[in-house]
Amino acid sequence: MPDRPRVLITAAFDNGIAEALHEEFELTVLEPANLRRSLAETGADDALAEAEAVVCETELLDATALAAAPNLRLAVSCRAAPVNIDLDGCTARGIPVATTPARNADVTADLTFTLLLATLRNTSRAEAWLRNGSWSAEDVFEPYREFRGLALNGRTLGILGGGAVGRRVLTRARAFGMHVLVYDPYLDKDTFGDQARVVGLEELLGAADVITVHTPLLESTIGLIGAEQLTLMRPGGHLINAGRAAVVEEQALLDALRTGHLAGAGLDVFWEEPLPAEHPLFGMPNVTMTPHIGGASDDVIAVHSRMAAEALRAWRRGGVPAAVANPAVYDPA
């Protein structure tokens, strides 16, 4: 391997970390286009052809890009899972694919709690009402009646998925004085000690005042929360989803909100994105919505840049990056 391997970076990347990498690597850093397109279409044909490592986030290292990168020896996806990379194609060529797990766990947990608070305290509706000029001296106490919400202290939060985001939501919930239940079939009952109980799904649904969704999107979790599960929730409960939309059945959630069985929901993810303008959610005042901004933070860029840099350095030294999606490339047997 040359003293300074050639690296193509198309992901959003921290400038200071990139400067430090220049000492060990020959970098080509492109301004991120944030488009889901093949790396072969970025206009950096020469850099791709010479690249021994690629760091990408939204652009695709697909079959076309792999064919255009004959010297490639490492791929780094600035994602928790390498959904933008042809994993089979890389494995067939013996190219390790490093990832950046939990890069946005903290900011996603923050947004989860933003949605939770905004939904239970009606803050988004109250702000829109205020900005619309609705507060008048004729009834100065109208907002006190219209936007009366719930306190978190003493209430029970049910967390679906006890991974990186779920654990951070747990910490935030405890700081607000909430009791916490966690459903995760892969965790032991005493995983969280006295901070939270790990319970079955039915127990969580029946006991929680608010449920947040943080399970990975697997065949077993698609539609995990459907009409039957929503019926088991406490009347007047709330559901918050800044994780994966498909974990919750869309029609079942809409029905539970229309009937009032659920008092409200906070959503950052949707079954179709962008959300169609005619979608019924827009007509539901008991729903708080944000346009899939869970990971939208400069801090996430700094975190995944650091993790990508660590992966590059480990690879350059002949080691194995901390998180590799296709570890079989290191053990062909």
Q: Which of 4, 37, 174, 292 is catalytic?
A: 292
145 included as an active-site residue: no
Q: How far apart are alpha carbons 221 and 207 in whole angstroms?
A: 20
State how far the alpha carbon of 283 is from the alpha carbons of 76, 164, 248, 278, in Å: 42, 33, 19, 9
Q: Which of 127, 202, 273, 317 is catalytic?
A: 273
Is residue 324 within 8 Å of residue 97, measured between CB atoms? yes
Q: How far apart are alpha carbons 269 and 111 in whole angstroms?
A: 12
β-strands 6-9, 26-29 pairing: parallel
* Token pair listed for 156: 């029970």
Q: How many CB atoms lie within 10 A of CB 195?
A: 13
Q: How far apart are alpha carbons 227 and 248 in whole angstroms?
A: 9
292 included as an active-site residue: yes
Q: How many CB atoms lie within 10 A of CB 313?
A: 15
273 included as an active-site residue: yes
β-strands 197-198, 210-213 pairing: unpaired
Residue 114: closest CA among 184, 225, 212: 212
Residue 28: helix, strand or coil by DSSP?
strand
The H-assigned helical ranges of the chain are: 15-21, 45-50, 63-67, 87-92, 105-121, 123-131, 142-146, 164-175, 201-207, 227-232, 250-259, 298-316
- What are the backbone dihedrals phi and psi of residue 170, each rounded to the nearest 5 degrees, phi first? -55, -45
Q: Which of 214, 244, 304, 316 is catalytic?
A: 244
Q: Which residue numbers are catalytic?
A: 244, 273, 292
